[in-house]
Amino acid sequence: KAGVTQTPRYLIKTRGQQVTLSCSPISGHRSVSWYQQTPGQGLQFLFEYFSETQRNKGNFPGRFSGRQFSNSRSEMNVSTLELGDSALYLCASSLGNGYSGNTIYFGEGSWLTVV
């Protein structure tokens, strides 16, 4: 079956703008998580959505937000972009039914450059 799909793969934005990234999970997966990856900070957990509700949240400012739709597809939004937001944004999906042994599958990521 198709893997986790993220769009767009690459984008360039200007400081102060906002951006929306999209993630389509593996069919049947109800949990979608978002991560930010940078050379300096590594992989950092942003938030997780399950059945359209944010279930877990990392330590990011309110400029970072997300949502999940009824078909489990998810979007994340970053408002008032800063240079430091330049990163690879990874989406991951899993069954999310509460059994922590569920495997999390990652997408290829969206490369965001803020200039």
Partner 1 sequence: AQRVTQPEKLLSVFKGAPVELKCNYSYSGSPELFWYVQYSRQRLQLLLRHISRESIKGFTADLNKGETSFHLKKPFAQEEDSAMYYCALSRYNNNDMRFGAGTRLTVKP
Binding site for partner 1 (CB under 8 A): 3, 31, 33, 35, 42-45, 48, 50, 55-58, 90, 92, 94, 96, 98-109
Minimum gap (Å) between residue 45 Cβ and partner 1:
5
Minimum gap (Å) between residue 81 Cβ and partner 1:
24
Minimum gap (Å) between residue 90 Cβ and partner 1:
7
Q: Among residues 10 and 99, whose Cβ is nearest to partner 1?
A: 99
Residues 6+ apart with CB under 8 A from 6: 21, 22, 23, 24, 89, 90, 91, 107, 108, 109, 110
Closest CA to 88 of 47, 43, 25: 43
Q: Among residues 86 and 102, whose Cβ is nearest to partner 1?
A: 102
Q: Among residues 13 and 105, whose Cβ is nearest to partner 1?
A: 105
- Bridge partner list, 75: 22, 67
Q: Among residues 28 and 42, whose Cβ is nearest to partner 1?
A: 42
